[in-house]
Structure formats: C-alpha cells, structure tokens
C-alpha cells in the first residue's frame, strides 16, 4: 500500500479514534510530509535505520528561525510524529521500521519563565479602574491564576459559569475534560465583570467595539445587542496580559503561560503533590509536570542545613 494513503488513514485515526485536535493533526501531517519529501520513500517497508539517520542529520542542520538551526525540542516534534506513524503501522501489522528504533534527541533542561510574588501581585492589581475593559482584564488575570488554564481554554469559556460553585469543568487538549477551581478573588472579579456587561454574546471574554466603549463612557448600554463574534482570541488575551504587565512595571516577558507556571509553582511551594498538580494542569504525562519540581529545591536546601552534619549536637 502506498505510504501517502497510509498517512491519510493514520491522520484520520488520530481524529476519530484518538480524538486529537485539528491543529495537532495538521502539525502531524506537516511533520510527516517533511520526512516523505526528504526521503522520497513511497512504501512503509522502505523506512530503515539509515533513512532515519539521514533524516535526523538533515533536521539537525536545517535552519530554523533566523540563522539558528532547529532546536532539539523542535526536532523531536518531527520524530514524535514519525514514531506515532510507525506505531500505527505496527498496530495494523504492516511491515516497517519498529517505532522503538527512533530515539528522541536529548534536550537541555531550561529555566522556567517565572515572575516573583511581588510582580504577580502588581500584575493582578494593574487593572484597577471601573471601566468594562478593566473589569474584564482583572477577571482574565484572576481566572488564569486561580485555574492554571491554557490561553486557548480560557478563550473558549462561556459566560454561563456557575459562580455559586467553586469549580467548573473545562475541555482541554485532546478533548479531555478536567475540573478546575475558583478562588474567591476570581469569583469576585468575574462576577463584577459580568454584572456590567449588557451585551448578549455567549462568550465569557469579549472584545469591545468603539461604539460600545463610547456608549459605556456616556453611561449608556455597552455592546451591541445580539452582536456576534465578539469572543476574544487567544492572541488577544496574550496582548491583554502583556499590556497589563507593562502597566505593572514588569520588565520581563509575561504571557498567559507564565501565569500558568506561577499557578503550578505556587501549589508546589505550598506542599501540593506533583500528581495533583499534573491533574490540575491537564498534563497527560507526569514528565511534563516535572519541569516544575526545581522550585522545591530551596526547601531541600533548608532541610539539608537543618538536619545534616549535626555531629556531637
């Protein structure tokens, strides 16, 4: 069977059987196309250790952004897609290279982009006005820190949140549903924001048209009744977080994902179990959550000082 037909079947299985998002499927298709274009392979039996070796050399030398070559992490995305495809072939008992023959490139651990407690406090206090945009931005920031939601998840929220409860369900990566929790600060901020909204849009976080802003300033109803497509995009939410960080006097780059990092590290610093943090973040694998464990290193240092080498005491 032609490998391009098998690739199509594989991508369809990702969508139907695995429930992967269309974005993930699109990425996998792009990664596999790169391999097929490079190797000129037409049948699965032609995939060999040598063809993989040559492909990895090509990936390692391929330019990425700017003049730099592709980083090891990006190279691994290509290899993960190829390995998943080989697993699919093996499941269908189609002769090809065993998937375990593809080893991922070793990547260096990197420091997380974090902000201090003081910077986080200033960020949360940045939207201090009573205008609808200020109330919205305050609700976005508090909700991000309370729940650890991804920016795509918070952008997709509906305004019908039940604020009488301290929790709600969200559908995350791969269509998986998880429970997240609301702090009192988040509930208060979202409630105050929704009370001032007069539009009928279903989205929780929306963009405000110039006409809406003018109406609000004049004390009239904000928003166009029945107006559609007001939902903020993930990119718009990123811009809002960046704007409020600058307003708070934070010089480093701040994104919704940085606030997600702060959510996770705050839990771990206060004694939360890493498995619980994994569930709250919606990570499929514990190895993804383990990037946060370095934040507890200072606690280990304190324990070492308190209990080690107490000779004769």
From the candidates 83, 197, 260, 261, which is the catalytic residue?
260
Q: Residue 177 pairs with which residues in a beta bridge?
A: 171
Distance CA 167, CA 184 (A): 11
Active-site position among 72, 224, 257, 269: 257
Q: Is 88 a catalytic residue?
A: no
Q: Which of 173, 178, 224, 242 is catalytic?
A: 173
Write b or e for each residue in 3-41: b if 16 or more Cβ atoms lie within 10 A of its Cβ, otherwise e.
beebbeebbeebeeeeebeeebbebbbebbebbeeebeb
Q: Would you say how long the chain is, in residues?
A: 313
Known catalytic residue at 257: yes
Q: Which of 31, 292, 301, 305 is catalytic?
A: 292
Instruction: Give helix 3-16 / helix 22-39 axis angle, nearest 10°.
Output: 160
Out of 83, 136, 138, 150, the active site residue is 150
b/e per residue 197-233 (b: at least 16 CB within 10 A): bebebebbbbbbeeebeebbeeeeebbbeeeeebbbe
Query: Is 173 in the active site?
Result: yes
d(CA 156, CA 183): 20
- In the chain, the N- to C-terminal Cα span, in Å, equals 76
Q: Catalytic site residues? A: 150, 173, 257, 260, 283, 292
């Amino acid at each position: 069977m032609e490998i391009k037909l098998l690739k199509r079947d594989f991508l369809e299985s990702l969508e139907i059987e695995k429930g992967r998002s269309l974005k993930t499927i699109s990425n996998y298709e792009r990664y596999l196309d790169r391999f097929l274009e490079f190797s000129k392979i037409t049948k699965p039996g032609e995939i060999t250790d040598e063809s993989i070796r040559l492909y990895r050399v090509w990936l390692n030398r391929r330019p990425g952004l700017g003049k730099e070559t592709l980083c090891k992490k990006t190279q691994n995305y290509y290899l993960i897609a190829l390995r998943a495809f080989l697993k699919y072939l093996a499941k269908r008992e189609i002769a090809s290279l065993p998937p375990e023959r593809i080893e991922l490139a070793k990547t260096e651990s990197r420091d997380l982009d974090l902000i201090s407690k003081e910077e986080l406090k200033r960020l949360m206090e940045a939207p201090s006005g009573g205008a609808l945009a200020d109330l919205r931005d305050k609700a976005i920031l508090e909700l991000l820190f309370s729940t650890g939601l991804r920016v795509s998840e918070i952008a997709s929220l509906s305004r019908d949140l039940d604020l009488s409860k301290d929790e709600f369900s969200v559908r995350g990566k791969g269509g998986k549903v998880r429970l997240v929790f609301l702090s009192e600060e988040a509930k208060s901020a979202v409630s105050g924001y929704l009370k001032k909204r007069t539009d009928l849009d279903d989205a929780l976080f929306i963009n405000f048209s110039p006409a809406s802003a003018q109406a609000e300033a004049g004390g009239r109803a904000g928003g166009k009744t029945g107006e559609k497509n007001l939902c903020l995009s993930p990119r718009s939410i990123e811009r809002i977080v960046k704007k409020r960080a600058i307003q708070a006097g934070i010089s480093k780059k701040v994104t919704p994902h940085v606030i997600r990092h702060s959510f996770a590290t705050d839990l771990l610093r206060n004694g939360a179990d890493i498995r619980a943090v994994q569930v709250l973040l919606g990570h499929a694998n514990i190895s993804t959550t383990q990037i946060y464990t370095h934040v507890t290193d200072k606690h280990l240092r304190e324990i070492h000082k308190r209990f080690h080498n107490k000779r004769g005491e």
